[in-house]
Amino acid sequence: MAQEKFDLEEALKNLNNNPVPQKKSGTIKRKTTLKIKPDYRYEACNESFPCANCKKMISPEGAGTHHRNHCPYCLSSIHVDNEPGDRKSDCKGIMEPISIWVKDDGEWSIVHRCKKCSKLGTNRSAADDNPVLLMSIAVKPLAFPPFPLHLLDNIIKKD
């Protein structure tokens, strides 16, 4: 089998003779990059965000946890999860703090109710939460009992 001799000069001439196809003017299609969203069930949220209720900027530092899920100033949250951390809720309503729940180990959790769909949820209190607001929510049932306060006086006098 005879082997042809390679002619570099001839190859360069042929290269210049073959026009390179030019891009057509108009819309340029760009490849869409797949954006992988973090799974907050297993990964820490390190993003700052504005509170949807009081508009203050919230940073993850100071919470004492890797899962910042409510505003430390007004204690409001956003209805973003169907299950904790999944970010699959379509509601996106503001979750208002309505009560405090004290767990068996003494840790406080904030009970939230969605203003849009009325779903109830709880979030652990964070190290930098507003202590005055936490206390005011905790004592609210004592300030507004479900019965007239003068009935307590009657009970005390009977004893």
Domain region containing 68: 49-141
Q: Is position 127 within any domain?
A: yes
pLDDT surpassing 80 at residue 83: yes
Q: Is position 23 within any domain?
A: no
Q: Is position 53 within any domain?
A: yes
Q: Is position 42 within any domain?
A: no
Contacts of 45 (CB under 8 A, 6+ apart): 38, 60, 66, 67, 68
Q: Is position 10 within any domain?
A: no
pLDDT at 39: 64
Nearest to 121 by CA among 131, 112, 109: 112
Q: How far apart are CA 120 and CA 146, in angstroms?
A: 21
**How many domains does the chain fold into?**
1
Q: Is position 133 within any domain?
A: yes
Quickly state the pLDDT bin for 8 (edges 50, 70, 90).
confident
pTM above the 0.85 mark?
Answer: no
Q: Please compute, for residue 44, the number of CA atoms within 13 A of its CA located in the half-sphere on the CB side.
A: 9
pLDDT at 75: 97
Contact 96, 78 (CB under 8 A): no
* Percent of residues, the chain, with pLDDT higher than 90: 41
Q: How far apart are CA 89 and CA 36, in angstroms?
A: 18
